[in-house]
Amino acid sequence: MSNLATVTKNGGLTTANKNRLSNFPNLSTWLEDFPLGDFPSLFSTNFNTGISLPKVNIKEVADAFVVEMAVPGLKKSDFKIDLDNHVLSISAELKEENEEKETGYTRREFGYSSFKRTFTLPETVDDNKIKANYKEGILSVNLPKKEEAKQKPARTIDIS
């Protein structure tokens, strides 16, 4: 039995066993051959508008889930937050129109950008108590858990 070390396209080492039962390439080989470098914006932008999707942190605490979205430069009035059938949608639209009038010419520029992020909420969220807050470029959405889903504190069980 001989194990060979080969260098992959990205410089990592893989081992290959010559006595394999099948000649199928492994998943990492297929991913190395896929030209992700040709599509850098496909995975990081909303290609309908050309605007980057905001980064999101989701954390779970004892009594809630918290969604934090980095969206600096916006106002509270720019956001729309909807809840429909346990799907939370957070969106924003920005419309900009500039017009400069000088002697002999007028220049008008229009700009439009938007994003929409959606999250399927677990059944444990109490959707009647959801609250949102926007401060210093961070939109925070607090998703409280139903009473029966809240984490109970640790306790000692007496032995009888």
Residues 25 and 89 in one domain: no
Q: Position of tokens 């980057």?
A: 52
Report if residue 64 sits inside a domain.
yes
pTM for this entry: 0.58
Report if residue 157 sits inside a domain.
no
pLDDT, residue 80, reads 95
pLDDT, residue 51, reads 56
Domain membership of residue 72 as a residue range: 48-149
Cα angle 46, 52, 53; round to 5: 75
pLDDT at residue 129 above 50? yes
Give me the number of domains the chain comprises.
2
Residues 126 and 87 in one domain: yes
Q: Position of tokens 């939370």?
A: 88
Mean pLDDT, range 122-141, rounded to an integer: 93
Mean pLDDT, range 129-153, rounded to an integer: 90
Residues 10 and 85 in one domain: no
pLDDT at residue 44 above 90? no
Mean pLDDT, range 106-125, rounded to an integer: 85
Q: Position of tokens 């051959």?
A: 33
Report if residue 134 sits inside a domain.
yes
Residues 66 and 101 in one domain: yes
pLDDT, residue 26, reads 52
Q: Of 68, 61, 60, 63, which Cα lies nearest the Cα of 132?
A: 68
